[in-house]
Structure 1
Amino acid sequence: MQIGILQTGESPDALRADMGDYPDFFETLLAGRGLTFRRWAVLRNDFPKDVHECDGWLITGSRFGAYEPHDWIPPLEDFIRRAYAEHVPVVGVCFGHQIIAQAMGGKVEKYAGGWSVGPTEYDFGDQTYTLNAWHQDQVVKKPEMAKVLSSTAFCENAALLYDDRMFTVQPHPEFRKEFMAGLIKYRGPGLVPDALLADATQRLDKPTDSPSMADRIAEFFLTHQAKSGAEKLRA
């Protein structure tokens, strides 16, 4: 199954040469799970020609806000709505989670409660995942059709499901400990309160459940593909 990665942000310059960029992180996270990948840098207005150019789509994180007036955000929202209408599966992570919610009628804003940084527990009912968080923006009002899969005291809409078409999460399963340490060092100062950075640094050795979330993401894509294939056979 071919997944198109829609890149909406870049890793810090100081980290990219050694650790890679956001699409690299997702290809590593999802490796060995029956998926292949193509990339489009939508933050530079590089868009697929059609929502069916790949079997599914994954929208990355970004330092930009979904509500900011960048010229590539409206066409990305249009692409999301077309994919939903055409039943092409989409996964969104952090900014991807937010821009999908915004495109589908929800509301995203810079959260008055501040930042969430570092390993954080997310209860999905059937499983609790510890995943790295790095965000202040969040979905404060979910779209009407979205079901909340995970909610925390800090982030009410931490994971959303749009029937079998879109699955989105606020935390970063693709962020490894070393990259989080780099974010804290190079992107955090002056942006995130020092006390939060210090606390997150002390917790970075806590194991995360990124492989389990990778399994969940891959299962979402592959189950959708299998279902679509069965429906075509019946037709």
Structure 2
Amino acid sequence: MPIEPDIARIAATIGDASRLRMLVLLMEGRALTAKELALGAGIEPGTATSHLRRLVDDGLLESTSQGRHKYFRFASEQVAQLVETLMRVAPKRKSLPKATQDDPIRRARFCYDHLAGSLGTGLLATLLRKKWLTPDSAGTGQLLVTPAGEKSLRAFNLDLEELRGRRRQFACTCLDWSERQDHLGGALGAALADHFTQQGWITRKKHSRLVLVSAEGAAHFKRLGIKLPV
């Protein structure tokens, strides 16, 4: 008999409130210890251990030991996309004020390791408008780099062949939960975000997904034609 994905098992794993809070914490893109995840999820370390074991057993997280500590991170890019999708479709809490365009989390943030928010959607819109990227005709959400894009993206010191050889999607659309538009995911999206960070165009707020754009970065983004969040 063909082996089918056990969707019910994964749904039950993610459906636990404590485990889901841990997954949301890991959307920062940093590997976290069991203690940090327990604190962030508001549970005891002993309880966190059993939750983390289930997340690892079900292929959602992976762990790495370093010295006395064990660090946990997403097992794959697809897990981050799954959490982002849940954030997008989940109903908003009525007790919270409605998000507005000037909310920092909407202006610019990381979606795991690539840019999201209006900065992220603006980046993808610009790359498509300049015809550096083009949607795959198969309608799979994958993006192809055009000849013009190959030349222009290499100017950012990106090794496109190396990025294509990674064990993840090369370039894909990722529907942004706050903007309801696509931002750029995959290895290419992560590489561009890393390049912008190394150049000092953006900085990441400590222990947060929030992104701040420097004055130098704002000038570069403007020259690229990227509409910056106000």
TM range (shorter): under 0.3
Q: Write 1 or 2 for the structure with the bigger share of strand.
A: 1
User: What is the TM-score when the length of structure 2 is the normalising length?
Assistant: 0.27
User: What is the TM-score when the length of structure 1 is the normalising length?
Assistant: 0.27
Q: Write 1 or 2 for the structure with the bigger share of helix.
A: 2
